[in-house]
Structure 1
Amino acid sequence: MRAVEICEHYNLPFINFKCPIDELPDLDKVEQILKENQDIALVYTTHNETGTGILNPIKEIGFLVHKYSAVFIVDTISTYAMKPIDIEKDNIDFCMASAQKGLMAMTGLSFVIGNTELIKKSAAYPKRSYYCNLYMQYHFFETTGQMHFTPPVQTIYAARQALDEYFREGEESKWKRHSEVFEAIHAGLDKLGFKDIIRRDLQAGLGVTVKYPDDENWSFEKIHDYCYERGFTIYPGKTSAQNTFRLCALGAITKDDIEDFFVVLYEALKVNNIKIPIHYDA
């Protein structure tokens, strides 16, 4: 996990709470750790775990974090501007994202949304980074109206345009479109007989992690290339315990696009002599 690597790099003490990749974190265990380690100052988690598509219960975790007087940071890289977020109701102190994800702008611009009072308080903290110091950036904005360092101007203009388009579509309408795409993905997978590895009630609604078939003719590379040559991309899985691939509901796509994709995926399976419905040994 990248957060662990960051803590190790900066020699920060940490507790790495692990849970099975296909389950939600046990909130009782989360509280137990906080109760037994009341010197914990900060808790970090992801909103949507993109490797599996699971949605973490950030509101409930945040409640426990605040109960024990810690700061709660949520990685919303893959949910911001897609799945509706209310940082106050969801008990979030800080969240972050990148322009190329939910906003569908250009890469090269990341941002943090957070508690202003906590940012001001951090002015007295040890400076572990110069370029990425959040208070220094905030203070420079407040005193000069400028970014602390030379900004990526073209990327910022692209983000400005993306924000205009986001608000033109509207938060609820955008999430409705992503949800329709997500449901279309499941409908297509069900029709072909594929299995996903995460219970559907635990999924974030933005991506599906699919088990490889138990078929001797299955080849991710061949299926990927066939689809890619016809305008569609499937992503390799990120789980080490199972062989998987991923389908995403992100971007400026609609359920019609997904239906067109499954026509191509069906062709890819037939061309490669993969049994339909998809076969699993268990």
Structure 2
Amino acid sequence: MESVKRNILLNPGPATTTDSVKYAQVVPDVCPREKEFCDLMQFVSFELTGLVAHPDAYTTVLFGGSGTAAVESVLSSVMTDGVIVIINNGAYGKRMCEIADAYQLDWIEYQSKPDQPIQLDLLESFIQGLPQKVSYLAVVHNETTTGLLNDIEAIGTICLENDIEMMVDAMSSFAAIPIDMNKMNISYLAASSNKNLQGMAGVSFVVAKNTELEKEIATKPTNYYLNLYLQYKYFIETGQMRFTPPVQTIYALKQALIELNDESIKDRYERYSLLWETLISGITRLGLKYLVPKEHHSKIITAIVEPTCKNYDFNTMHDYFYDNGITIYPGKLKDMNSFRVANIGNLTKSDIDLFLSLLEKYLQSIGIETKEENLSSILYETQED
């Protein structure tokens, strides 16, 4: 098998993939309505479910689309008949607010700092102090804006005690950070194929209890393509998606799942964590700071505080790395100047070492002495400081 040019993607997805995942897309043309492809869909759905729940009681419903499609499917299919609390502590919590607003749902925003853990007692007091009964809560597991890991199990306990169904956006935690939907009281989980699964972009999915998916919905549907219940029903009856799926991408997802099973979620997260430790050690040596305290960090993606040096420009730095086969990502916080580096995908320690070496050369090229004691006076302090 001829090797494909390898780029080091340090953006939070799509991630760097193996050649075997890339080549898995090269298959004979097949109609997705044939039994061969239905069997593939069944395999993928079953394997995805088994990563976070028991396949006898839960089902994974697949959609063609980015991860946002899965989140939108849950909000617009399920959460149409009650009050929703949406936790906003980053760009992706904010996105859920925007989706709920677009569908004119009955939603209430709970804001929390993007670089600090959610204060659970305040969240519960907020919920209990509302004049209306809350039916649903939506939260991001790993907030990709900063790398903050929200305590889903504790939030799930609050939901259980207050008779609330919880939806979790697990885009950048699924298949790395262990999740047990039953234990964590997660009613609906949304994720996609192209982050920790190390598959190709184009497939999103929702994992939910069969009993929830089989409910008879009395209200008029508010969506069409993203209707979770109709997609589930069609899959159970036919083994297919209602509409044309991204065929080749699903073949790649099958291969990615095989490779994940070979590595295991435990070992994959350990590998990612070691890469993160290498990254943090390196940027600290260079005098740079990161936003989220270590004890609350997902070790998946890191928001790094930008230098205040007048010669610094993110776009110039991005292009410098891109020319060297590495992709990094801009920050998403208006009041905290940062850029983001992910350590997911088919990466090795040498990839992170290369990034750090190039980062040091870039900083030196714009006039920054890459010694911790010389840099501290020209860098923003974190909000924690």
- Residue 178 (structure 2) pairs with residue 81 (structure 1): no
Where does residue 97 of structure 2 map in the other structure?
4
SS of 1:43's partner is strand
- Residue 99 (structure 2) pairs with residue 13 (structure 1): no
Where does residue 365 of structure 2 map in the other structure?
271
Higher mean Cα deviation, 130-139 or 45-54?
130-139
SS of 2:327's partner is coil
- Whole-angstrom CA distance in 1 between matches of 2:320 and 2:343: 20
SS of 1:104's partner is coil
Q: 1:45 aligns with which of 139, 155, 159?
A: 139
Where does residue 269 of structure 2 map in the other structure?
175
Larger relative contact order (Cα-Cα within 8 Å, sequence gap ≥ 6): 2
SS of 2:172's partner is coil
Amino acid at match of 2:156: G
Higher mean Cα deviation, 176-185 or 270-279?
270-279
Question: How big is the shift at 1:149?
Answer: 1.7
Question: How big is the shift at 1:122?
Answer: 5.4
Q: 2:248 aligns with which of 142, 154, 159?
A: 154
Where does residue 120 of structure 2 map in the other structure?
27
Question: How big is the shift at 1:88?
Answer: 1.7
Change (3 A) 1:30 1:122: farther
Question: How big is the shift at 1:176?
Answer: 0.9
Where does residue 54 of structure 2 map in the other structure?
none
1:1-282 matches, within 5 Å, as 1-37=94-130, 39-121=133-215, 123-277=217-371, 278-281=375-378
Deviation above 4 Å: which 4+ runs of structure 1? none
Question: How big is the shift at 1:163?
Answer: 0.8
Task: Report if the CA contact (8 A) 1:75-1:96 is conserved.
Answer: yes
Amino acid at match of 1:13: D
Amino acid at match of 2:298: A
- Whole-angstrom CA distance in 1 between matches of 2:245 and 2:319: 38
Change (3 A) 1:74 1:280: farther
Instruction: Give TM-score scaled by structure 1 length.
Output: 0.95
Amino acid at match of 2:127: L
Amino acid at match of 2:117: L
Change (3 A) 1:231 1:149: same
Question: How big is the shift at 1:219?
Answer: 2.2
Question: How big is the shift at 1:23?
Answer: 1.4
- Whole-angstrom CA distance in 2 between matches of 1:275 and 1:133: 55
Question: How big is the shift at 1:34?
Answer: 2.4
Question: How big is the shift at 1:206?
Answer: 0.4
Instruction: Give TM-score scaled by structure 2 length.
Output: 0.70
Pairwise CA RMSD: 1.5
Deviations 1:213-253 (A, max 9, x none): 23223222232222221122221111111111111111110
- Whole-angstrom CA distance in 2 between matches of 1:118 and 1:49: 26
Amino acid at match of 2:376: H
Higher mean Cα deviation, 175-184 or 219-228?
219-228
Question: How big is the shift at 1:125?
Answer: 4.2
Amino acid at match of 2:103: Y
Amino acid at match of 1:102: N
- Whole-angstrom CA distance in 2 between matches of 1:172 and 1:121: 34
- Whole-angstrom CA distance in 1 between matches of 2:338 and 2:99: 27
- Whole-angstrom CA distance in 1 between matches of 2:127 and 2:324: 51
